[in-house]
Structure 1
Amino acid sequence: MFVPRPHLCDVLKREQCRLQLLCAPAGYGKTALLREYLRGEAVWMSLGGLPQTLEGLSKMLAGQLGLAPETVPDALLALLDSRDLLTAQPSSLASQLPQGNAINCGSLPTSDRASPGSENPTLRLVFDDLPAQMPANLNHWFDQLLSLRNPGLQVLVTCRQRPEWNLPQLMLGGQLLELDARQLALRPDEFESLVSVLMPTADIRSREKLWHQTAGWCAGVRLLPSALLGAYLERELLARLNDEQREVLYGLAHLAKASADLCQQLWEEQQGARVFRSLLDAQVFFVPIDHQPGWFRLLPAVSQALQDRLSGVPLNRLRLRACQLLGVLGQVDDAVEQALSADQPEVAASYMERLWLSWILSERHLDRFIDWRERIEPQLLQSSSRLIYLCAKALLFSGRLDEAEECLQRLGRFCPLPDRKRNQRLLANWQALYGTLHTLRGNVEQARLHCHAALRYLTVQDWLSVLLCHCTLARIDMQTGELNEAQVLLEHSLELARRQGSREAEVLVNTDRVRLLLLQGKSALAHSLLRTELAQLTGSRTQPYPLLGRLLFLQGELLLQQGRADEAEQVVQAGLMQVRDCCAPFVLNAYLLLSEIASRRHDQEQAQQLLCEAERRMHWGRIDSACYQGPIELQRNRNGFRDQGTDIDVPAVARMPDYQDGLTPREVSVLKLLAEGMSVREVGHRLFISVNTVKTHAKNINVKLGACRRTQAINSAKAMGILA
């Protein structure tokens, strides 16, 4: 199936450089892209990755140009340097060639016969699937070709390994456009269109899994579901590698990441660093790891297809050695993974103790930690207060509240510590997590008590617990309408996150700041802050990043508030691509938004199916019902209410389930008094709260009930049984 790539064609058309180089592994659609872009208007040479000589290539090019086969390479360069190549008549052009050579101008596309002064190339030469290695004289000939003065000449090359040409000089002169696997990979929308044809019945979860296995690799998308990927790699990849390269590659298929240093120590006798660099040069599906210079990962689909090439004792020996080396290199999480894969849970638990507490805050690690917890005996994870604390935090962030509480209770075994200050800090960290636990369960006053108690004894070393308390208290303040207090807490949290250099913590704080700005009526600032965070996180990431997914869900919510349902749906689907297998409660937001969009389109069946999928995903993640039942039921009621013919405008559907699951008792009280016809001032007087606080409660009520006006909120509340 052909996938149109208009955005890449636009890039090729816009960047009219001397050399346009498409360098990527097999199956990224390099040839198809050039055919789409050129539409036959080029001199095309299919090299098939086969070894070439200067004489053989010259003969092929001469034939394509309509010249005599014996045309010498230098004569070809002289002809290609002629500005009159396509404007001259055949007779006059033939006279410019050495005796015995002739050219058939009819073999060249007439549309490329540019008029004098035209900015478009007059002749495009395509060298498709250039071989990885070429003799020195052939590389020298290409350097000469690329340095010709003829402005009407353009060279387009597809290859799997960067050629040994003077590319830096071309780049300095603005004469090089290079597209690699990152640019050539399918975008999410292109992926969706392809999968819709190949797998029309695939559910969201299957699509997400396929996306993250292939990362937009077109051949992988088409072949992985059919179990033909192994045969494809055998022909297109392994057949081009030598024995040393294959040996190292089969081992790396079992490692989550690799570097030259790691490979040197794992395969010292084979000069592993040299072999690894040769694999990188050969474009063997290695992808740079975000923010870890020098580290790469093998594309998951390729890794999966190659893992059966190494097994048994040799594999176990490799894993144990890799575990030791990864720990020394500071890659503690990967050392844990290798220890578990080698059936060494004691070693894994010892490495887990070395993890920074902030490690879990980067949400891409949350599922990984939970998975380890399932694979290690409970007694090992209860052997130290640090391991118990890590487990409690991971469970809490995953919405598994009962299990988190059990973990926290086990910390009592380690109290009191001999040192009074250490004992106070341990208790304070314990209370910080309890404050979050009570917030998620809706016990606001208990949450406040625990957070304030914790803050008395937490130190700079406990910055993450301080930040957790501040954010928890800020969310409570937003819920109760104390927006100024929430703003102060979030500003302190933002400063703390920045001083600690934690980008993940800063993003999470700014997510709450966006919601606070919306409650304060500062919509423009909220949108600006969200755009800034998205711009900084999006970049060129190659791995799923749940934190980015969280931001995309928030962006989808804001787009839906503006009535831009189609754009909101695209953004939310892109966010789901970032949270495959993620077990955090915030994933619920995506399904609530998609359900609301389907409901607005009067597709009630799809709307209800999405809510069922949301519930299934929450069950699968073993997430406490307090985190999802209320929002799902509220959305079901909305969908049903709309189906009865009532037009409900829902400015904001998805919410952070940890502080906006439903109407609070105070909000219900406010709504009841408003329903009785009281003014805002009268309600404030009756409840002993300020007018501004009443207005904030009213705004929150409208958001939660999907109403624009007070009368809509009252009608919705009556339909849902909130008001009698």
Structure 2
Amino acid sequence: MTAMTPCLDRRGFLPRLSSHHQSRTRLSAPLLESVARVRLVCAPAGSGKSALLAECLFQAPPACEVRWLPLAGATLSPADFCQRLAQTLGLPERVDEARLIATLARWAEPTWLFIDDYCRLPDPALDALLDRLLAVSSPALTWWIGTRRRPQCNWPRLLLDDELYESESATLALSQDEIACALTHLTAEQAHSVAGRIVQRTGGWCAGVRMALLQKCDWTQSLQPQQRVDTLLDYLQHELFSSLTPELAEAWRVLAHLPRFNAELCEHLFGAGEGAQLLRTLQTLGCFIEPWHESAEWLQVFPPLAQVMREEQWPASRSWHRRACQFFTVGKDWRSAFEQALLAEEFEVAVSLLQHFSFEHLFEEQTVVLLLQLHEQQGEELILSSPQLVGLFTGALLFAGRFEQAEQCIAHMTRFLPQPSAQSERQLIARWQAQQGWLLHLQGQMQPAQEHFQQALAELAPETWPTRLLCLSGLTQQAFLRGELDVAQAFNRQALCLARAHDSLVFEGLLELDHAHLLEQRGASARAEALLSNMDELLREHTVRLTPLHGRIALLRGRLALNQGLDERAAALFQSGLNDCLRSHDKRVLYGYLGQAQLAANQRDFELAFNRLRAAERLMQQRQIPDTVYRGVLLQVSSHFWLQQQRQDLACEALSRVLRHYQGAQAVQAPPATVLLIPRIEYLLILARAAGSPMDAEHLAQLQRRMNQAQSSAMNALHTELQLVIAELLWLAGRKDEADKALRQGLRLAADFQCRQALQELSLRRAEMLQTVALPSAHHADFENSASLPLLSQRELKVLKLIALGYSNQQIADEMFISLHTVKTHARRINVKLCVERRTQAVAKAKLLGLLS
């Protein structure tokens, strides 16, 4: 609720906005533009409802009267409510319901009536009165209602009559840009970075953001100040717990300690016939309960608040986690049961549940993190008691980049020899070879890894198809690194067919990542993006969130967007992928930092670029990931930046040192996710040596040979980069005519194969070089159009076309045989991609861009 102050140009007392108020035009504009007679803002405490209503009030038309009725959430009898309403509207003091209804029905003066913080506790009689008042009031009277709970009124009728506009609770959260505007004491870049951390820790919840800003928290540190936590707990005590019964408060605290819950789980925890009712009551009271990852069934407590509650010491939590474990075990939700067993500190139970796990479980939620914790806390005799457990923990350790521990884990396979039969023994050895092959592959030892993969494939039985898929994926990645794209495509196709035959969505997603890498090398970034967008959409329909897989997809999509010059989209994808990979301890988090560094360098903010690289190196070292995973690519990207800064000596020294690591008798292969690492190190080293010295003919010949190999292998992205480097080398040598011809060819390739980032990097090194050559108009138009069109998936396009035909969400769901929830998700993503707020705006912009033709 806001403070009150007299207003000279309006009658009565009106709300006063804080001096720190941040205008939310994206919310107030649609409310003000709406022609609906009732405008409802329903959200939990601290969401900024009162401030939003006040912001709208001060923009009321001059000819419109405004009335502000602050109720402070109090419970009122229908008679008291009538009196308060009459007093606010300037009616006689004693007015009964019948007279009030008659007066409102005849109301003629344009008036906006604001009811701030409507009754917080369920009150059927009061809600019924409000419903009657809304039903009969004159169109001249516009109702603005701010409330923590949705009153039991006939909202569907108002909605169908186009008389209701409702702001969804989630939209009230402050965005990163809105928070950054309040950080006026920081530079724009610092404000954006700090605002991002505030959003990450508060979810944009207005009260949480305000606490952070008031206490001037040092958001550059990883730990939250205790003062902020105490303030937040004190706020919850007054705004939430004080209005709950002890039973409800205890239930809310239990739910805050659970990652997700539904009515059935509440029945198990709090008693049959009572648990579901407790949950409904908490939802009705606006107790920060929201859908879990957009699920239609599962719920969660608002994560920032849940995190604070979990950090508090609460010995009773173990017994609740034990009961939750029982529930998930009965339902055969093994991952959730395992997580609850760990939280209950029932480690033997947790290990026994792992017998139901497969490799695919590693990509669910934080399974890897939980397995790593168990590996650190318990002895090997308990956790490595079967070949299946050895394989599971090996997969988790390899995923997190802990190669030394993975090697020790794999060695435990020998404990299970000999097997009862020759066939069983061959299968066990084949599984060992597959695990050993992946360890060697990730360590850069290509030849022995390849032999292990091939030997394992020759022995593995059909029922061990997951292990076969892993071997095929390893062979696919090795073919990439050798530049044999046709071989890689054949392995990938074989693996995809096998994954789909066994209806494995997780493996299909992993293999489509390999497929997208292939398309990227072919110079088809847009096709790769469409492929991954569709895959990501399909994975989101999975009952459990596949966080690690979503993270990897987001990172690759970020790089594809960067290739196409879509820096803003790339930034969002890199941040999303970075967050997911950090949560799941994926070693590929490295590529989120690299992407952010490249985006910073594109803006010539080299200080931020190198800060991102240092942050990546620090994290790799903290997590004890071998430097073979990250050292080479960090030095290569650093050298790229040094060349852009004209610091050739630094680049030459670093590149010479790292190239020796990938050449000679003891050479290792590049990390699997860096297909072009070695060719890029080679051509960057040539550029570093060429600056300020006569051109070496052998260098030009070396680049030409590399380019010919890339062209013959249809590695079009590398072909384009090398063509531009040859042009730069000729330009540095003063051979202007040859440089001009080579550059024009490179520009054509960049347009054909969507290599906008390669042009950007050339521009950063040699801006004056590009000023002399213009891209041919036909190629220029194609290049600009391909980079600017929003990339909607096929499903999103179909939804958009049905929206354009006037279909309702329910009609679209029926037409496409999908759920209403999925339709809403598609519509929301369409709006985000097209940068619009409403359906009509989305259709208009799509027509303008030619997406509906």
TM-score range, shorter chain: 0.7 to 0.9
Q: 1:273 to 1:575 in 2, by over 3 A?
A: same
Question: What residue identity is the alignment partner of 2:447?
Answer: E
Name the counterpart of 1:720: none
Partner of 1:658: 672
Q: Which runs of 5+ in 1 are unaligned?
A: 87-112, 114-122, 649-655, 718-724
1:283 maps to: 286
Q: Which moved more, 1:512-521 or 1:331-340?
A: 331-340
Q: Measured at CA, do residues 262 and 683 of structure 1 come closer, stay the same or move farther in structure 2, by a change above 3 Å? A: closer
Structure 1 residue 241 displacement after superposition: 0.5
Distance in 2 (CA, whole Å) between partners of 1:442 and 1:454 is 19
Structure 2 partner of 1:5:
24
Post-superposition Cα deviations, 1:615-669, rounded to whole Å, max 9, x if no partner, equal 01111222222211111111111122221178x9xxxxxxx94242664489969
| 1:19 and 2:38 matched | yes
For 1:297-336, what aligned pairs fall within 5 Å after superposition?
Answer: 297-307=300-310, 311-312=314-315, 314-336=316-338
CA distance in 1, matches of 2:349, 2:406: 24
> C-alpha separation between the residues in 2 aligned to 1:291 and 1:354?
27
Query: 5+ unaligned residues in a row in structure 2: which ranges?
Result: 1-19, 61-65, 213-223, 652-669, 687-695, 733-760, 763-853
Q: Is the 8 A contact 1:432 1:451 kept in 2?
A: yes
Contact 1:212 1:543 in 2 (8 A): no
Q: Which amino acid aligns with 1:25?
A: P
Instruction: Evaluate the alpha carbon distance shift between residue 335 and residue 415 of structure 1 in structure 2; reply closer, same or farther with a 3 A threshold.
Output: same
Q: Report the AA paired with residue 168 of structure 1.
A: P
**What does 1:145-156 align with in structure 2 at a 5 Å threshold?**
145-148=133-136, 150-156=138-144
The 2-side partners of 1:380 and 1:198 are apart by: 52
Shift of 1:585: 1.9
2:465 and 2:183 map into 1 onto residues whose CA distance is 45
- Residue identity matched to 1:660: T
Shift of 1:196: 8.1
DSSP 3-state at the match of 1:578: helix
CA contact (8 A) 2:710 2:719 kept: no
Using the TM superposition, give the Cα deviation of residue 699 of structure 1 relative to its aligned residue in structure 2, in angstroms. 4.2
Taking the aligned partners of 1:256 and 1:413, their CA distance within structure 2 comes to: 37
Cα distance, 1:160 vs structure 2: 1.7
Cα offset for 1:340?
Answer: 3.1
Say yes or no: does 1:63 pair with 2:65: no
Aligned residues: 666
Take 1:527 and 1:303, find their aligned partners in 2: how far apart are those partners?
35
3-state SS of paired residue (1:372): helix
How many Å separate the matches in 2 of 1:541 and 1:644? 51
Shift of 1:386: 1.4
Matched, 1:222 2:222: no
CA contact (8 A) 1:264 1:273 kept: yes
Counterpart check, 1:692 vs 2:712: yes
* Cα distance in 1 for residues equivalent to 2:729 and 2:393: 41
Give the aligned partner of residue 505 of structure 1. 507
Which segment drifts farther, 386-395 or 505-514? 505-514
Query: 1:246 aligns to what SS in structure 2?
Result: helix
Task: Give me the identity figure in percent.
Answer: 30
Shift in Å, 1:202: 8.8
1:118-133 alignment, distance < 5 Å? 123-133=111-121
Give the structure 2 partner of residue 710 of structure 1: 726
Hey, what does 1:371 align to over in structure 2?
Answer: 373
How many angstroms does 1:429 deviate by? 3.1
Instruction: Answer yes or no: is the 8 Å Cα contact 1:209–1:580 preserved in 2.
Output: no
User: For the residues of structure 1 that align with 2:399 and 2:683, how far apart are their CA atoms?
Assistant: 31
Mapped partners of 1:365, 1:77: distance in 2: 59
**Aligned 8 A contact 2:559 2:570 in 1:** yes
What pairs up with 1:629-644 in 2 under 5 angstroms?
629-644=631-646
Q: Aligned AA for 1:71?
A: V
Deviates more, 1:557-566 or 1:531-540: 531-540
1:638–1:219: structure 2 CA closer, same or farther, 3 Å change rule? same
Of 669-678 and 55-64, the range deviating more from structure 2: 669-678
Pairing of 1:533-612 with structure 2 (within 5 A)? 533=535, 545-612=547-614
For the 8 Å contact 1:470–1:490, the answer to whether it is kept is yes
Which residue pairs with 2:830 in the alignment?
none
Which position in structure 2 is the counterpart of 1:119? none
SS of the equivalent of 1:451 reads: helix
Task: Report what 1:245 is aligned to.
Answer: 248
Partner of 1:400: 402
Counterpart residue number, 1:168 = 156
1:676 is displaced (CA, Å) by 5.0
Tell me the equivalent position of 1:94: none
Residue 587 of structure 1: CA displacement?
0.9
Aligned-partner Cα distance in 1 for 2:310–2:421: 50
Structure 1 669/611 Cα, relative in aligned 2: closer, same or farther at 3 Å?
closer
- 8 Å CA contact 1:493–1:509 kept in 2: the answer is yes
Contact 1:586 1:657 in 2 (8 A): no
- Which residue of 2 is the match for residue 480 of structure 1? 482
Question: Which residue number corresponds to residue 76 of structure 2?
Answer: 52
| Distance in 1 of aligned mates of 2:697 and 2:451 | 31
Q: Which amino acid aligns with 1:578?
A: D
Distance 1:191 1:456 in 2: 58
1:708 alignment partner, SS class:
helix
Partner of 1:290: helix, strand, or coil? coil
Aligned to 1:414: 416
For residues 690 and 54 of structure 1, the distance between their equivalents in structure 2, rounded to whole angstroms, comes to 79
Q: Which residue of 1 aligns with 2:777?
A: none
Deviation at residue 174 of structure 1 after TM alignment: 4.4
- Alignment map for 1:42-191 (pairs within 5 Å): 42-82=66-106, 85-86=108-109, 113=110, 123-133=111-121, 135-148=123-136, 150-190=138-178
What is the Cα deviation at residue 394 of structure 1? Answer: 0.5
Moved more, 427-436 or 408-417: 427-436
1:274 aligns with 2:277: yes
Shift of 1:253: 3.2
C-alpha distance in 2 between matches for 1:494 and 1:577: 28
Structure 1 residue 239: Cα displacement: 0.7
Secondary structure of the corresponding residue to residue 117 of structure 2: strand
How far 1:237 sits from its partner (Å)? Answer: 0.3
Distance in 2 (CA, whole Å) between partners of 1:439 and 1:423 is 24
TM-superposed CA distance for 1:388, in Å, is 1.1
Partner-residue secondary structure (3-state), 1:178: strand
Give secondary structure in 2 for the equivalent of 1:589: helix
Q: Write the distance in 2 (CA, Å) between the matches of 1:200 and 1:569.
A: 16
Note if contact 1:585-1:628 (Cα within 8 Å) is conserved in structure 2: no
Tell me which amino acid in the other structure corresponds to 2:418: P
CA distance in 1, matches of 2:518, 2:202: 38
* Contact 1:188–1:574, Cα closer than 8 Å, also in 2: no
| 8 Å CA contact retained: 1:323, 1:339 | yes
Displacement of 1:670 in angstroms is 14
State the alpha-carbon separation in 1 of the partners of residues 177 and 684 from structure 2. Answer: 45
Distance 2:522 2:516 in 1: 10
Cα pair distance change 1:266/1:434, threshold 3 Å: same
What TM-score, normalized to structure 1? 0.81
Greater shift in the superposed pair: 271-280 or 665-674: 665-674
Q: Deviations over 1:548-601 (max 9, x none)?
A: 333333333233334444553344234434344442121111211222233333
Q: 1:103-147: per-residue Cα shift (whole Å, max 9, x none)?
A: xxxxxxxxxx4xxxxxxxxx4332221113354443222222332
Instruction: Return the offset for 1:231.
Output: 0.5
C-alpha change, 1:669 and 1:202, in structure 2 (3 Å) is: closer
SS at match of 1:417: coil
Structure 1 CA distance for aligned equivalents of residues 704 and 607 of structure 2: 43
Match in the other structure for 1:621:
623
Query: Residues 579 and 518 of structure 1: is their aligned pair in 2 closer, same or farther, counting only changes over 3 Å?
Result: closer
2:364–2:544 Cα contact (<8 Å) kept: no
Give the stretch that moved more between structures: 379-388 or 497-506: 497-506
Q: 1:721 is matched with which residue?
A: none
Deviation at 1:678, TM superposition (A): 4.4
C-alpha distance in structure 2 between counterparts of 1:490 and 1:235, whole Å: 58
Residue aligned with 2:152, SS: coil
